[in-house]
Amino acid sequence: MQKSILIAHPCPRCGSEGGVYAVKNKKDGALWAYCDECDTLWETIDDIQNEVYFNNRSAEFEWGGYATLEEVKEFGWGKYIIED
Ligand SMILES: [Zn+2]
Which domain does 16 fall in, by range?
6-80
Is the residue at 57 inside a domain?
Answer: yes
**How many whole angstroms from 75 Cα to the centroid of ligand 1?**
22
- How many domains, in total, are found in the chain? 1
Would you state the pLDDT for residue 2? 63
**Total-model pTM:** 0.90
Which pLDDT band, with edges at 50, 70 and 90, does 9 fall under?
Answer: very high
Is the residue at 50 inside a domain?
Answer: yes
Would you state the pLDDT for residue 54? 84
Is the residue at 74 inside a domain?
Answer: yes
pLDDT in tens, 33-59: 999 999 999 999 999 999 888 876 678
What is the three-class DSSP state of 33?
Answer: strand
Nearest by Cα to 70 from 54, 62, 81: 81
**How many whole angstroms from 41 Cα to the centroid of ligand 1?**
9
- Region of residue 29 (left: phi > 0; alpha: psi -120 to 50; beta: else): left
Is the residue at 1 inside a domain?
Answer: no
pLDDT > 90 in the chain, percent: 79
Is the residue at 18 inside a domain?
Answer: yes
Is the residue at 31 inside a domain?
Answer: yes
Would you state the pLDDT for residue 1? 54
